[in-house]
Amino acid sequence: MDGSVDLCGVELGGPILNGSGTFDAIAARRVFGAALDREFPFDAFVSKTITLEPRAGNPPPRLWETAAGMLNSIGLPNRGLAGFLESDLPQLASLPVPLIVSVMGFSAREVAELVGAVSERAEVSLIELNVSCPNVETGLVMGADPTETAALLDVVRPLAGKPLIVKLSPNASAPEDVARAAEAHGADAVSLINTLKGTALAPGRNRPWLGGQGGGLSGPAVRPVALAQVAAVSAAIELPVIGMGGITSGAHAADFLSAGARCIAIGTESFRDPAAAGRVRADLAAIIRKEREEI
Ligand SMILES: Cc1cc2nc3c(=O)[nH]c(=O)nc-3n(C[C@H](O)[C@H](O)[C@H](O)COP(=O)(O)O)c2cc1C
């Protein structure tokens, strides 16, 4: 990719990130070794979301294939903050690109503790707040309600020694209102979309297929929704926007950049084709080169 990108003061080699939870760089390095680092497919790496305490995740089944997408109810399995800092962070810190750590808590206090601890680590360039979960104190989803998002940032912002990306939920009546609240209360960037709420019934049975009951829809099926929300949010705020949702090609990436995104992320497509990000990068570079030649 010709052209570096400034993301909240962090210089990236290009605009391509991974969606949190969709590319396991530690496992990929076990398989591909040093070759992964030589041709690392992303310009910054976003960790799987971590929580304060370890989580086993949801019972199986955890995936359901839909027309042009999939539902997942993984349930955020992770080692918890202490396990992440001890085991995962040293491995992720040696990747050849800046590291973004994704955190989620079930109250502002929990998010504050995560952000405070992660901020202290020099290996971390930015922090992403995954706010697609209910606040146990109010019952409201932190990223689906502007007042909740504002209240969360008021607590967390003073503790964050790193730029904060708020990952917006698409399950809000107006994500642009949530984005405005995030901007007004100290966010440095926003990313979107996270998965759309969905469910599937077990064949022939009147009960949900997924062990977690409901799940999150991702993949090409969500791309028109994602593009509309990225355009609406980009028009509503001045902050950099990271756009994602169903991107599988360089042309899709170019669409999200045209809609106002500064960076884009590849999610579900990496499960189908682990080399997807490299392909998107090459195609996007060719599209940008062609556009420049035509000017
Ligand atoms: C299996 C799976 C796990 C995910 N885990 C996380 C996660 O831990 N944290 C998060 O913020 N988003 C998570 N996501 C959402 C993605 O990062 C992304 O926002 C969403 O899937 C839309 O992009 P896509 O259609 O390209 O996958 C996950 C998505 C999938 C499919």
Q: What is the pLDDT of residue 2?
A: 54
Average pLDDT over residues 263-282: 96
Local confidence band at 136 (pLDDT 50, 70, 90 cut-offs): confident
Catalytic-role residue among 17, 76, 133, 253: 133
Domain of residue 46, residue span: 5-58+66-294
Which of ligand 1's atoms lies nearest the C-alpha of 248? 26
Q: Active site includes 133?
A: yes
Judged against a pLDDT cut of 80, whether residue 295 lies above it is answered with no
Per the structure, how many domains does the chain have?
1
Top mutation candidate among 197, 218, 264 for ligand 1, by most atoms within 8 Å of CB? 218
Whole-number Å distance between alpha carbons of 55 and 72: 16
What distance in angstroms lies between residue 21's CA and the mean position of ligand 1's atoms? 5
| CB of 190 closer than 8 Å to CB of 182 | yes
Judged against a pLDDT cut of 80, whether residue 155 lies above it is answered with yes
Give the CATH number of the domain where residue 233 resides. 3.20.20.70
**Tens-place pLDDT, residues 176-186:** 999 999 999 99
How far are the Cα atoms of 23, 39, 157, 264, 275 from residue 28, in angstroms, in the given order? 8, 12, 33, 21, 11
Q: What is the pLDDT of residue 141?
A: 85
Whole-number Å distance between alpha carbons of 31 and 132: 31
Above pLDDT 90, what percent of the chain? 89
The pTM assigned to this predicted structure is: 0.97
132 or 262, which is more confident: 262
Top mutation candidate among 22, 196, 256 for ligand 1, by most atoms within 8 Å of CB? 22
Pocket of ligand 1 (CB under 6 A): 19-22, 48-49, 72, 74, 76, 102, 130, 167, 193-195, 218-219, 222, 244-247, 267-269
